[in-house]
Each structure stands twice: as C-alpha cells, then as structure tokens.
Amino acid sequence: MDKSILKTVIADNMASILDYKVVSRDFHFEKFGNYVFVGMRRAGKSYLLYQRMQELLAKGAKLQEMLYINFEDERLSGMNSGDLNLLLETHLEMYGVRPILFLDEIQNIKGWEKFARRLADTKHRVYITGSNAKMLSKDIQSTLGGRYIAIDVYPYNFKEYLNACNISFSAQHIYSTQGKARILRKFNDYFSFGGLPESLIFSSKRDYLTGIFQKIYLGDIAARHSIDNLFALRILFKKLAESLKQPVSYNRITNIISSVGTKISTNTVINYIEHAKDAWLIIPVQNIAGKIVEKTSKPKYYYTDNGILNLFLLDGTTSLFENLVAVNLLRKYGCNDSVFFYNKDIEVDFYIPETATAIQACYSLDDASGTFDREVNALLKVSKILECKKLLIITSDTEKTLKISNKKIEIVPLWKWLLGG
C-alpha cells in the first residue's frame, strides 16, 4: 500500500471530523473502553464514531490524535491485513503522536481481528465498526480476548428520531395538544419509513430505502456469498416480510419459493437466511415454549428497520406495528436469547425473561371482532405458565389499566411506549 495514498486519506478524514454534523445518539461511552460496533448498513455506526471524536475534542483531545479510516474508501481497495500497521506508521510520520483509532467498516479487511487485538494489547484506544454479525462470532471474540466491548447498533429509536427532527417530547409536550400533534406526525413517518439516520434528509424516503436494500441484498449478501439465484433470494425476503407475525419453518419457506417457479433446496434456504442475519437485515425470535429443534428451525423473523420491511408490503400496518415493537425490545434487551414469543395452545407475541414481562402487540382492540378478549385471555393464561411480573398490551391509541383475576394489565399506545411513558 502506497504511503502517499494513506497520507491523503488520513488528512482528508481529519478535515471531515469537525465538519460532520452529529445528532448525538442515546449512548454513553466508557472512558477507557475499546468498542466494536456492529449493525446493519447505514444504521448509524459511523455517527457513533463521529460522536465520540467530537466528544473527545470537546474534552481537550487534539485533532492530530484522531486517526479515522473508512475501509469502504475506494482509495483503500487494495489494502490487506499486512498493510494495517502502515496506518500507525503513516500517522506517526505525519503528526508524531500516538493516535486514538476509529476504524470504520473494518470487516472489508480479512484478518483485521489480529491487528485489533494487538492494538488493544499495546494500550491503544480503539473504536471499530462493521456491518457483518460474524465479526462477533466466537472465533473472533476469542481472538480479541475480551478486550473490546461489543455493541449492537440499530437504527434510531423513537427518542433519537425526534431529537434528530428537533421535536421536543417532555411530559409537557406529550400532554399538550400542539406538542402531541407534532410527535404523532413524526411517529407516522417513523412507523412507515423507519429510523435509518440518513433517511431524514431525503424527501423521497422510499427511493433512498430501496437503494439501501439493494446494497444489502446485492452487495452484503449476494456478492459476498457468490449467490447467483437472485430471484429466489428476493422472493425469500418478500415471503419473510409477508409471514412476519407467524413462526415460519425452513421447509415452508422452501416450498413457497419453489411454488413460484424457482427450485431451491432447504439447505440453500437455510444458508440464505443465515447470510441475511449476518448482514443484520433480519433478526429471529424463538418460541420459548418450543422444543429445542423447533426453537432454531421455526422462529419468527423481524426486519431490523421498518422502512426496509415496508418495501415488501402493500397493506402492512399490523406487520409494521409488531415489527416496531420487536425491534425496540431487541434493541433494549439484546438479540441473543433475550426476547421470545410464546406459542403453545395460546399465542403471546413477546416474553422477556429478564423482566418477566408478557406483551401483546395489537394494533386495534376491537371488541366487535373479539380481539380484546383474545389478547387479554392469552396474557392471563400465560401468567399461569410463566413468571409474569408485568402484563402489557401495546396498541395504536388505547391507554388504560385493567384489573382482572387479581392481575393488572397495562394498555398503552405504541408511540408513548416507545418514549418510555
């Protein structure tokens, strides 16, 4: 790798640090922590790097101490793991100081983890991002040796979204007529178009989201894994979106894809789903009442962002509603066996063991259709099977508290629940 190219990249990136407009995300950095941020493309990982750089500058750090590299920069296309140490050498030649490293989308450099381990061993302060969940596989975690704090980065939560839109959401604003109306207008956008940070600046949000999906679908999944059957891959994503509220097995997905004219094996479907999970496009949630094999082979699949999900749906209000609840729970509690659903004779949308909370996500509690009784009875029944300290129904507009059979059931609108109210 030519050092003159690295010098240009380093200098250009340094100049961008002060110019980058940051909307601070809801995240607190430990003073002496090294971090690996992993998440879907454009979820806001780079925002966190710039946020940290600007925080450190505000606390007295010097600009020359910042070494920011984006490994998707085309000028670095020939770089390999053997060139990574040149970053340190080049920065030292230019500025003569030990840098704090900000390494963006480092998964593009095969073997990056050994370099990252050495940086931590030599007491460098390091912040890393990547768009591949395999960055945090057991093998890589073993190589990193516990020297990094792993953080899953999701698109904006609703509070972050409102902050980015300069909308206040204090109790005073929530309960005032004008303030609530502003919040609800933004909630409708967030509900339909999701929370990818850059989407806020585009008037044609659907076009922007289509472009992001194409990069994930064609680049992060198809090209990276040499997939030729793009039709089958796209049908897979569409059918997962249409089946979002129900558990779905590998065999069922295979049969559906085969039925539209493209033969595919169950093993191929499993591989495609694993690739989509690795790209953070979808996240599975398991049935806490299922048998061991069924837990992994018949989960529900949720999309990491409502805007991407909405690309596949014609009338998807109820699916978008449940997806938004799911992603908020996964963001809060984690995606590794922390959020479940219950499906055995009765159906409960979500169960959180950590807080012993059972949740129904129900867009409309329509008495005429029996929805109210069905949702309430399911919660009461599951509370006799699992420990339930809290029973909750999240709906579109109803807010009240029920007391039935010595059990309290809270009913809260989705927008207010997302704000923690």
The answer on 140 and 25 residing in a single domain is: yes
The answer on 144 and 184 residing in a single domain is: no
In this predicted model, what pLDDT tens digit does every residue of 143-190 receive, in sequence order? 787 889 889 999 999 999 999 999 988 888 888 889 999 999 999 999
Pairing of strands 340-344, 282-287: parallel
Domain of 28? 3-153
The answer on 93 and 188 residing in a single domain is: no
Higher pLDDT pick, 19 / 326: 326
Determine, yes or no, domain membership for 240.
no
Determine, yes or no, domain membership for 309.
no
Question: Residue 385: which of 333, 350, 344, 354 has the closest Cα?
Answer: 344
Confidence at 112, pLDDT banded by 50, 70, 90: very high
Indicate whether 421 pLDDT > 90.
no
Instruction: Tell me how far apart the alpha carbons of residues 306 and 6 are, in angstroms, rounded to a whole number.
Output: 38
Confidence at 139, pLDDT banded by 50, 70, 90: low
> In which region does residue 78 sit, left (phi positive, over 0), alpha (psi from -120 to 50) or beta (all else)?
alpha
Question: How many structural domains comprise the chain?
Answer: 3
Higher pLDDT pick, 132 / 15: 15
Determine, yes or no, domain membership for 371.
yes
Instruction: Tell me how far apart the alpha carbons of residues 338 and 325 are, in angstroms, rounded to a whole number.
Output: 14
Indicate whether 411 pLDDT > 80.
yes
The answer on 140 and 12 residing in a single domain is: yes
The answer on 140 and 184 residing in a single domain is: no
Q: Average of pLDDT values for 279-283? A: 94
Across 332-349, b (16+ Cβ under 10 Å) vs e yields: ebebeeebbbbbeeebbb
Question: Residue 388: which of 400, 372, 406, 363 has the closest Cα?
Answer: 406
| Last residue of one domain, picked from the residues 153, 185, 216 | 153
In this predicted model, what pLDDT tens digit does every residue of 389-408 receive, in sequence order? 999 999 999 999 999 988 99
CATH number of residue 65's parent domain: 3.40.50.300
The answer on 126 and 9 residing in a single domain is: yes
The answer on 143 and 97 residing in a single domain is: yes
| Last residue of one domain, picked from the residues 91, 118, 153 | 153
Determine, yes or no, domain membership for 218.
no
Determine, yes or no, domain membership for 173.
yes
In this predicted model, what pLDDT tens digit does every residue of 191-203 receive, in sequence order? 999 999 999 989 9
Higher pLDDT pick, 119 / 131: 119
Percent of all residues in the chain with a pLDDT value above 90, rounded to a whole number: 75
- Which pair of tokens denotes residue 2? 């030519």
The answer on 149 and 7 residing in a single domain is: yes
Determine, yes or no, domain membership for 46.
yes
Determine, yes or no, domain membership for 322.
no
Instruction: Tell me how far apart the alpha carbons of residues 395 and 12 are, in angstroms, rounded to a whole number.
Output: 49
**Three-state DSSP class for residue 374:** helix
The answer on 182 and 130 residing in a single domain is: no
Instruction: Tell me how far apart the alpha carbons of residues 376 and 392 are, in angstroms, rounded to a whole number.
Output: 9
The answer on 67 and 180 residing in a single domain is: no
Instruction: Tell me how far apart the alpha carbons of residues 414 and 237 are, in angstroms, rounded to a whole number.
Output: 26
Residue 144 has what pLDDT? Answer: 82
Determine, yes or no, domain membership for 301.
no
The answer on 97 and 180 residing in a single domain is: no
The answer on 163 and 65 residing in a single domain is: no
- CB count, 10 Å around CB of 212? 21
* Residue given tokens 């585009």 in the structure block: 202
Q: Average of pLDDT values for 24-41? A: 90
